[in-house]
Structure 1
């Protein structure tokens, strides 16, 4: 893995840089791994109610310090403050969800035997230390969705945060300390990418949860696979948003705007490719462009701000370069975007041919691509013509059509006639190059578990 910059918060809205934090030394990483490994069996041996009590207190910490935690995220990556609060609240809900439901999720599963001789069951047990390598775009939510189920099972957790998320990750560690979690149950490691490879390979690490780019995820997957350990990968997405009839075009437009601009367009499962059937294309696109044109980047600490800066100047430069390359390759800018430092205005691209590089890239910011589809089949073909397969959105008043299209889409998630429908009890994950494995819901708790068969016959 390549080297990385030191851990440091640089406020993308102001450019103000916080105190840099040095990478952990080899001795510090060894101590962290050793402590987590030593703590795991005692933690798993505690009654489930004691483990879930810690999760409940962590959830309460998030709620009690809602504004403080939200403001930290704003300083780190520019998320609008209202969305930051919503993220912190959702994270608390995730900790509570697993605290409330772990008992039923971890109950033994008896297996009916054909011959009736003796008994057999599946017992769900912890596997050990789980390393979480987390991104910057949702600094609390991403951690909660991998850490909460792992800890409920009895695994211990090491968190490697993104370089600019040093403060939010510190606050999460404080939450576990305030909840009296035993030493080593949850700890963060400020590891460089080069040193992180060694941590992944360490035999005391039983599993790895990674959320981030496809490039980095491929490296993590290779290292973990070479060490024969479980890995869950949640990578990029270029989610399609299909509008298939004229049942409620205004509602579909509003939903598309919301799905494209969430987190200033920096969401893996944000709607990035808007695919509209020919019969409603002109009306939809005109309204969609007008609504995006009315949104301007603003101060992320302002309650009324819809989009703030991107996470960094570099992130905005990358998006600007993608838009420019797309136009050079023949795309039409229905709404021309521009950049000012880390701030990037909304944009809409059309006439993006399959040969255009941006057709198979992920635009991580407030720029959408619109496609005209001849009919339902053409819309599905366009939607599936991507290396990604995370989520998708389908808008239609025809229930039968919605079912057909949901079955035909090559994605891990399909949302029909709605956006922002994520919940703690709903699984999250994708197919193809969007990754493997699932987080959240009952499926999420099964990823880092030893599903142990216990078969017994009488003597």
Structure 2
């Protein structure tokens, strides 16, 4: 099979890549197995030295790598460079703290009792195109610092990024086989999961992809972590700072052209302040400059693929037919989709029920505070949410009621190396990042000595 890398803005073919043959894939699996036997014996200090070097390599090449990201998936160049920098910081973080996170734990019993953390082996990762460096380094840095090795199946439209990441690992001095990218077809995924060499599977992607891969992981009894879709609630209460909320709302929805699982998608606003918020929200969205993602000053680039633009257009059309009101935007030309805002969205509409992966913001009007929580929780996804209010004590109480893996108050929802990240319900299970994240693919072994 031939994978094509297509520039979303110009629709030019950048590169073409052949998928691995069965023999080539098996060779990479064997290399992964051999690499693990040696890598698991290295000290934390040895791993940390190489991980810090990887951070240096990423920073030294951030402009070149940022350009690659923009050309392959359309992110504006400033966001692409920032993504590389964030990935480098994640490498530094785990280089600094992995040993402390995985230290032996002792228990107060009659005997000498402890738990130790042992690496499991090869972790197979299926990663998406929307953050082609961050999504990979987010799992790979802790996984490798813990003594595991990894095989990456990246999205077919960002294989250039996958190869660049692998090259960065090699340039940093990691042994061959510790990090490998494998360009494989969907039909080859089960053979990788089934291999005795692979002991864990991590996937970031759609609900459908997660269901399929999680099913295969279960079939072959392999530990898995799933970070799937999201339709994050952005709750605006009566006492919120509306100007600040509207400013962050526009940023949160339009970041990466709206192509992020943790982009705010459902803006749930108390009726009393809804008109004012929508007016401010609309002005902030209208101020965004859309165009060539390589040009300085551009704030919104294209969607990554033509089919994504068509899907979003269809969701918008059906939602308007279901009673939503178009406030602004709505048109698209190839992958260039105008930033769009719709109001009076019902909980039964497509824009509410489905994940809208693009620059489409939906406003749902709530009667009161309790109603806003009910609306927020009335969804199959539970990845993240934001609450806007000047009452911090009340915000904490409401945050405890929200069904999501992450809740931010008066802030843009972001992933942070220090904080566990992941969702519930159809948004997946397991956690990445923080101490919890690095322990996901470890054997927590209890030892008791009389």
Could you tell me whether the CA contact under 8 Å between 1:211 and 1:235 is conserved in 2? yes
Structure 1's consecutive aligned runs of 4 or more residues displaced over 6 angstroms after TM superposition are none
**1:73 corresponds to:** 69
Tell me, in whole angstroms, the C-alpha distance in 1 between the residues paired with 2:127 and 2:5: 15
- Aligned pairs for 1:22-421 (under 5 A) are 22-113=18-109, 116=110, 118-421=111-414
Task: Return the TM-score normalized by structure 1.
Answer: 0.96
Q: Classify the secondary structure of the residue corresponding to 1:232.
A: strand
CA drift at 1:245:
2.4
CA drift at 1:235:
0.4
Tell me, in whole angstroms, the C-alpha distance in 1 between the residues paired with 2:392 and 2:175: 51
**1:15 corresponds to:** 11
Tell me, in whole angstroms, the C-alpha distance in 1 between the residues paired with 2:383 and 2:414: 15
CA drift at 1:391:
0.5
Could you tell me whether the CA contact under 8 Å between 1:297 and 1:344 is conserved in 2? no
Q: Classify the secondary structure of the residue corresponding to 2:199.
A: strand
**1:440 corresponds to:** 433
CA drift at 1:179:
1.4
CA drift at 1:292:
1.4
Runs of at least 5 residues in structure 1 that lack an aligned partner in the other structure = none
Could you tell me whether the CA contact under 8 Å between 1:429 and 1:439 is conserved in 2? yes
Q: Classify the secondary structure of the residue corresponding to 1:323.
A: helix
Tell me, in whole angstroms, the C-alpha distance in 1 between the residues paired with 2:130 and 2:240: 34
| 1:33-65 C-alpha deviation (Å, 9 max, x unpaired) | 111011112101011111111111111111000
CA drift at 1:420:
4.9
Give RMSD over aligned pairs.
1.1
Tell me, in whole angstroms, the C-alpha distance in 1 between the residues paired with 2:366 and 2:346: 13
Could you tell me whether the CA contact under 8 Å between 1:94 and 1:145 is conserved in 2? yes
Runs of at least 5 residues in structure 2 that lack an aligned partner in the other structure = none
Q: Classify the secondary structure of the residue corresponding to 1:424.
A: coil
Could you tell me whether the CA contact under 8 Å between 1:347 and 1:368 is conserved in 2? yes
* Higher fraction of strand: 2
How many residue pairs were aligned?
450
Could you tell me whether the CA contact under 8 Å between 2:151 and 2:181 is conserved in 1? yes
CA drift at 1:303:
2.1
Q: Classify the secondary structure of the residue corresponding to 1:445.
A: helix
Tell me, in whole angstroms, the C-alpha distance in 2 between the residues paired with 1:428 and 1:47: 27
CA drift at 1:374:
1.1
